[in-house]
Amino acid sequence: MKKVLKIAAIALLAVLAVVLLYVGYVFGTYSRIEDNQALSVTQGSGGVQTAEADTEYKVLCWNIGFGAYEDDFGFFMDGGTESRAWSKERLTANIEAIGRTIADENPDISILQEVDFDSDRSYHVDEALALRTFEDLDAWTDSVFAVNYHSAYLFYPITQPHGASKSGLLTMSKLGIRSAVRRSLPVETGVTKILDLDRCYSVTRIPVSNGKELCLYNLHLSAYTSDGKIADEQLELLLSDMQAEFEAGNYVIGGGDFNKDLLSGGSEAYFGVSTADYNWAQPVRFDLIDETDIRLIAPEGKDAPVPSVRNADGAYHEGQLVLTVDGFLVSPNVEVTGSEVLDTGFAYSDHNPIIMTVKLRDAAWNRGPELSAGREHPLSCNAIRSCSCEALRRNAPAIGDKSFRRIVP
C-alpha cells in the first residue's frame, strides 16, 4: 500500500512540475511588440501612386476569421467545440474563396483582420501571402501587415490543442503606400492578457496629389475584457490619433472589427436576437465618438439589414446571435457616398465583409445646414433609413448635427 501511495505521490508531483513548467513557459514567453513600430511596405509593380481629391474610391473591410469559420464551424472560445480549421484543404479553399470575393468586388483598398501566417490552428498556411498574391493582385497592390497575435503554444482543448498562433492585420491598396506604422493598444494586465491578442491598429499613409495624406487605420479591438475600461481606453486612443491627423489636414479612413454593437438603437431591434448576455456585443461608446469630429459608419445591407457577424458557438442557424460589430470611421473631409454589408451567408468567415465608397474633399464635407446649437435630432440615422418618407431618407445625410455622425449612407 505504501508503495502504491509513493508511486501516486511521485506521479502527482511530476504532473504538478509539468504544469508549473508550462505556466512558466507561457508567462515567460509573453511579450508585447513595442509601440510605433515601423512596418515594411510590400510594393506592387503597378497601380496609381497617389490618391486624388473628388475621386470615388471603394473600401472593403473584412475579418476573415483565419479562414476557418465556415458556416458549420463553432469556435471553442465562443461556446463551440473546434479549435482549428476543419482541415488544411478546406482552409485553403476558404482563403481562395475569400480572395475571389475580394477580387470580384474590386476595391481600391482592402482592410482585413485575423489573417494568419504561421499558426497551428490554420496548418501554417501563410494567408497573408496567399491574399497578397491572389491571381494578379500583387502586380498592382501595395500592402502592409501588422502582427497582433503571437501566442505561446496553448495546450487546450486537450483533445485538439489550439497551439501557437501568429496572425495580424493586412491592408492592401491599389494606391501607392508611402509608409506605415503599428500602434499598440492598451490591454489588460492580469492573467487574462495571455488569452487576448497583442491588440494594435496600423496606420498606413497614402500620398494625395494636393499634398495631404490619406491615413488608413486597420483595427481589431478587444472582445473579452473583465471590465469596460480597456475597451474605452482603446477607442479613446484610436479616436485621439485620428482626430490629430484630421486637424493636421489629412484624410482619415478607419475600418475593422470593433467587437461592439455599432447600430444605433441596438442590433436586437434589427435582427431580433438579444445581445444582453454577451459582454463583447454591448453598444459601442457613441459618446466618445461624438466628442470628436470623427464619424462612425455602421453599414447595413443593400436592400435590407444584414448583420456583419454571427456568434460562432456552433453552426450558423436561425435564432443564432447576429449583430453588426464591423464598421468604418471617417474624418469630415471624407464624403461617404455609400456603404453596405455584403451578405455571404457567413460561408467563409463568422464575419460578412463590409463595403464603403468615399470621395476625398479639399474641405470638410458640408452635410447642409446645422441644426440649432446643442440640439439633438430626435431620430437616429438608422431610423431614418427605414423611414417610409423617401424625402426624409434622401436628405438625412445632409443634417450636420453630431447625432448624425452615426451615418448609414
291 and 353 in a common domain: yes
Is there a domain that residue 296 lies in?
yes
What does the pLDDT read at residue 266?
93
383 and 309 in a common domain: no
More confident of the two residues 203 and 161: 203
378 and 288 in a common domain: no
Does 370 have pLDDT greater than 80?
A: no
293 and 147 in a common domain: yes
What does the pLDDT read at residue 372?
25
What does the pLDDT read at residue 136?
67
Does 84 have pLDDT greater than 60?
A: yes
More confident of the two residues 178 and 22: 178
More confident of the two residues 151 and 385: 151
The mean per-residue pLDDT over the stretch 259-281 comes to 91
What does the pLDDT read at residue 76?
84
What does the pLDDT read at residue 138?
65
193 and 82 in a common domain: yes
- The predicted model scores a pTM of 0.86
What does the pLDDT read at residue 45?
65
Is there a domain that residue 173 lies in?
yes
Across-strand partners of 254? 217, 329
What are the tens digits of pLDDT across the range 276-330?
888 888 999 999 999 999 999 999 877 789 999 999 989 999 899 999 999 999 9
What are the tens digits of pLDDT across the range 21-45?
767 766 666 677 899 999 999 988 6
More confident of the two residues 223 and 335: 335
387 and 278 in a common domain: no
The mean per-residue pLDDT over the stretch 330-356 comes to 97
What does the pLDDT read at residue 157?
87
Does 62 have pLDDT greater than 80?
A: yes
Does 58 have pLDDT greater than 70?
A: yes
More confident of the two residues 362 and 36: 36
Give the C-alpha separation, 235 to 217, whole Å. 12
CATH number of the domain within which 193 lies: 3.60.10.10
Does 19 have pLDDT greater than 80?
A: no
83 and 219 in a common domain: yes
Mean pLDDT of the chain: 84
202 and 101 in a common domain: yes
When pLDDT is cut at 50, 70 and 90, the band that residue 387 belongs to is: very low
What are the tens digits of pLDDT across the range 118-166?
999 999 999 999 999 898 666 678 999 999 988 888 878 888 888 889 8
When pLDDT is cut at 50, 70 and 90, the band that residue 191 belongs to is: low
Count of domains forming the chain: 2
Percent with pLDDT over 90 in the chain:
60
Is there a domain that residue 7 lies in?
no
Tell me the C-alpha to C-alpha distance, in Å, between residue 54 and each of 2, 22, 246: 85, 57, 17
When pLDDT is cut at 50, 70 and 90, the band that residue 242 belongs to is: very high
Residues 6 or more apart in contact with residue 120 via CB below 8 angstroms: 84, 153, 161, 162, 163, 164, 165
More confident of the two residues 384 and 99: 99
Is there a domain that residue 24 lies in?
no
According to DSSP, the β-strands at 295-297 and 251-257 are unpaired
What does the pLDDT read at residue 218?
98
Containing structural domain, residue 39: 31-365
The mean per-residue pLDDT over the stretch 89-101 comes to 96
What does the pLDDT read at residue 394?
33
